[in-house]
Amino acid sequence: MESLIRSAQMGDTTAFQQLVETYYAVAWRTARVLQHDAAGIDDILQEAWLDAWRGLPGFLTHRPFRPWLLTLVTNRCRMAARRHTLQTVTVDTLEDHLVTDDMLQQVLQQERDAQLRAALAKLSEEQQRVLELRYFAELELSEIALVTGMPLGTVKSRLHRALQALRQQTETLREYILEEKR
């Protein structure tokens, strides 16, 4: 990786292409969570990668590349945010979800997914954002602090609290279904 970065620093576009291919997914996922406007993601990432191209000569090659890139992506998302409103996400219908041979399992699966969506909808936006960055973008806690601007302790507590709330919600559903079956 270090040699790739060093080559890219010298203007080697092939090396830079390899960096793009390596980190495109995490950059896209992070931008997707932060921006929510799918139509603008490509432009944001283009700008962020151009920022990286411009900034690479000043980059120290023995340092990790990924957090630096995430910083660039976050900054571009912030700049774009004022031009967009958050996308309203339609709650999927139950029919969109998994179908299994076992009808009972199918119903339970649908109920579980619906309950998860309902439980997520009850979380604050900040909690939802932390969950998305953790489980969709797959960022480290410190990286979540980086891209959200939250203190690290706050990120940790948001995550714990959100997971706790989700467990409680889904447990309530399980008890309800078991009761219905009796």
108-147 residues in contact with another protein (CB under 8 A) are 108, 112-113, 116-117, 120, 125-126, 129, 131-132, 135-136, 140-143, 145-146
For residue 64, which of 32, 29, 26 has the smallest C-alpha distance? 26
Residue 2 or 167 having the CB closest to another protein = 167
32-51 binders of another protein (CB under 8 A): 32-36, 38, 42, 45-46, 49-51
**CB 168 to another protein: min, Å:** 10
Interior angle at CA 46, CA 5 and CA 79, nearest 5: 110
142-181 binders of another protein (CB under 8 A): 142-143, 145-146, 148-154, 156-158, 160-161, 163-164, 166-167, 170-171, 174, 177-178
Which residue reads 């960096």 in tokens?
19
Binding mask 71-100 for another protein (x = CB under 8 A): x---x-xxx-xx--xx--x--x---xx---
**CB 150 to another protein: min, Å:** 7
Return d(Cα 73, Cα 96) in angstroms, integer: 32
Binding mask 48-67 for another protein (x = CB under 8 A): -xxx-xxxxxxxx--xx-xx
**CB 96 to another protein: min, Å:** 8
Return d(Cα 90, Cα 86) in angstroms, integer: 12
Return d(Cα 109, Cα 119) in angstroms, integer: 15
Size of the site for another protein (CB under 8 A): 91
* Tokens, residue 97: 């979800």
Residue 25 contacts another protein per CB under 8 A: yes
Of these, 5, 70, 73, 110, which contacts another protein (CB under 8 A)? 70
Cα distances from 46 to residues 4, 24, 28, 151, 181, in angstroms, run: 20, 11, 10, 28, 53
Which residue reads 């919600």 in tokens?
169
* Tokens, residue 111: 């109920």
Return d(Cα 163, Cα 43) in angstroms, integer: 33
